[in-house]
Amino acid sequence: MKSWPALISGILFGLGLTLSGMSDPAKVLGFLNVTGAWVPDLIFVMGGAVVVTLVLTPLVLKRTAPLLASTFSLPTKQIVDRRLVGGAVLFGIGWGLSGYCPGPGLVSLLYGYQTTLVFCLAMFAGMFLESRISR
């Protein structure tokens, strides 16, 4: 499989995260702070992104295969289970504690902040832990 298109996708994603304000934890926390001094910016980030994917995803999936790979690799799970709900609960709490989710956390490594490094190391530790527990 060719992999260079992933570099382009990553660049667009990195541009999107940083231009939109997602890599600013204060802005993200301000957005989640709906009962306080609410910062509405991220509605436009999510809105802009989801409108694009809602409109274009069905068109892409009409094709029999991706441009440079043999098949679409999409999640096959359909049922709602405890892992989905429990995982989303834990992730939501973690997100609300710092204002970092995985993408903004990783791109913020660029800034050389101690907090970002600690976040990313802890995140990978959590992923590793989960892979051990769930086996």
Partner 1 sequence: MNTYLLPLTGGVLLGLAAIWLLFSLGRVAGISGIAWGALSGPDRGWRWLFLLGLLCGGAVTHNLVGHPIPTESNAPLWLIACSGLLVGVGTRMGGGCTSGHGVCGLGRQSPRSLLATIIFMGLGILTVFVMQNVMGRLL
Q: Which of residues 52-111 bind partner 1 (CB under 8 A)?
A: 52-54, 56-57, 60-61, 63, 65-69, 71-75, 77-80, 83-103, 105-111
Angle (CA) 104 131 100, round 5°: 15
135 is a site residue for partner 1 (CB under 8 A):
no
Residues 32-51 that bind partner 1 (CB under 8 A): 32-37, 40-51
Closest CB 22 distance from partner 1, rounded Å: 7
Query: How far is the C-alpha of 16 from the C-alpha of 21, rounded, in Å?
Result: 9
Closest CB 82 distance from partner 1, rounded Å: 9
Closest CB 47 distance from partner 1, rounded Å: 6
Closest CB 77 distance from partner 1, rounded Å: 7
Query: Per-residue string for binding with partner 1, 108-127, x by CB under 8 A?
Result: xxxx-xxxx-xxxxxxxxxx
Which candidate, 99, 125, 127, 126, places its Cα nearest to that of 113? 99
All residues at 6 or more sequence positions from 124 whose CB lies less than 8 Å from its CB, including other chains: none
> Do residues 73 and 10 make contact, with C-beta atoms less than 8 angstroms apart?
no
9 is a site residue for partner 1 (CB under 8 A):
yes
12 is a site residue for partner 1 (CB under 8 A):
yes
- One-letter amino acid for residue 63 of the chain: R
> Do residues 39 and 33 make contact, with C-beta atoms less than 8 angstroms apart?
yes
Closest CB 62 distance from partner 1, rounded Å: 11
Q: Name the burial class of residue 24, with classes exposed (0-12), middle (13-18) and buried (19+) by CB atoms within 10 angstroms of its CB.
A: middle
- The residue count for binding partner 1 (CB under 8 A) is 116
